[in-house]
A and B are shown apart, each in its own frame.
Chain A
Amino acid sequence: DSGVTQTPKHLITATGQRVTLRCSPRSGDLSVYWYQQSLDQGLQFLIQYYNGEERAKGNILERFSAQQFPDLHSELNLSSLELGDSALYFCASSPLTGLADTQYFGPGTRLTVL
C-alpha cells in the first residue's frame, strides 16, 4: 500500500458526461501528479500540482482540468467525455520537487465511457 488513495475505484459513464476523480496524497507529500494509462498510449503524464499551484503540464486535453486543495487532496475533472477517454487514471504523490523525489502511485480509477 503506497499511502495514496483514489476514489472511486471504478466509474462507468456515458459520452458527453462529466466526472470527477479524487486523490488523497501520502501524509506530508506536497506534490500530486495525474497520469493516464491506456492500451494505445501507455502511461502518460497529465499534470502536476505542488502545494496548491500548478507546476507542470503534459498531454492534458482542454476538456480535462485539475486542482489541488488547501488540504492537499486533488481532483481531476473530465468533461465532454469521449469513448477514447476510457482508461486508468493514476494519481501519484511525492514529498517535494527535489532531486531524488520518488513518486508513489495510487491504485487508480478505471474510467469506462460507453
Chain B
Amino acid sequence: QQQVKQSPQSLIVQKGGISIINCAYENTAFDYFPWYQQFPGKGPALLIAIRPDVSEKKEGRFTISFNKSAKQFSLHIMDSQPGDSATYFCAARGGGGNKLTFGTGTQLKVEL
C-alpha cells in the first residue's frame, strides 16, 4: 500500500532528447508527488512537484504528467542536457505525518 514503483532503473538519452521516467502508486491517501534530483555525494534536491488535482505541471524543461485514475505519474525532461545526468526519485507524501515514500530511483545519463 505504501510502495511507489519507479521505472526504468537506468536510462541513456542523447543530448537534446526527451527523458521519461514513470512512477506508479497504490495508496490513494497520497496527496503530494514531488520529484527529486540527486547528484553523487549530494542530498536529494526538489525538482518539481504536483498535487493530484492537477494533470500536468511544467517548469522550464521539466514536466510532470499525472493520471489520478491510473495512479501513475511521470517526469519528462525536454531537451535533455549532460548536466541533467543524475539519479531521479519520484516520491509520494502521505500515510502519517508528512513522510515521503520514495521510488527506487532512475539513473539518467545524457550523452553528447
Give the interface of A toward B (CB within 8 A): 2, 4, 31, 33, 35, 42-45, 48, 50, 55-58, 90, 92, 94, 97, 99-108
Fill in one digit per residue for B30-49: 1 if any A CB lies within 8 Å of its CB, else 0: 01101010000111111001
Contact present for A45 and B44 (CB under 8 Å): no
Q: B76 an interface residue at 8 Å Cβ cutoff?
A: no
Find the B residue at minimum CB distance from A33.
B99
Is there contact, CB below 8 Å, between B99 and A2? no
Q: Point out residues on B near A: beta carbons under 8 Å.
A: 31-32, 34, 36, 41-46, 49, 51, 89, 93, 96-105
Say whether A105 contacts B44, CB under 8 Å: yes
Closest to A105 in B: B43
B42 adjacent to A97 (CB under 8 Å): no
Chain B residues with Cβ below 8 Å from A101 are 32, 93, 98
Cβ–Cβ contact A45 & B101, under 8 A? yes
Identity of the chain B residue whose Cβ is nearest the Cβ of A107 in the assembled complex: B43
Q: Which of B41, B49, B51, B99 is the one whose CB lies under 8 Å from A56?
A: B99
CB distance from A101 to the nearest CB of B (A): 6
Query: Which of A45, A94, A97, A108 counts the most chain B CB atoms within 10 A?
Result: A45
A42 touches B98 (CB 8 A): no
Residues of B within 8 A of A97 (CB): 97-98
A residues near B98, Cβ cutoff 8 Å: 31, 33, 48, 55-56, 94, 97, 101, 103
Contact A42 B43 (CB under 8 A): no
- Once A43-B89, A48-B99, A55-B97 are accepted as A-B contacts, the answer to whether A103 and B46 lie under 8 Å apart by CB is yes
Given known contacts A48-B99, A97-B98, is B105 in contact with A42 (CB within 8 Å)? yes
Report the minimum CB–CB distance from B65 to chain A (whole Å): 19
With both chains docked as a complex, state the minimum distance between the C-beta of B45 and any C-beta of chain A, in angstroms. 7
Instruction: Identify which of A44, A58, A99, A105 contacts B45 (C-beta below 8 A).
Output: A105
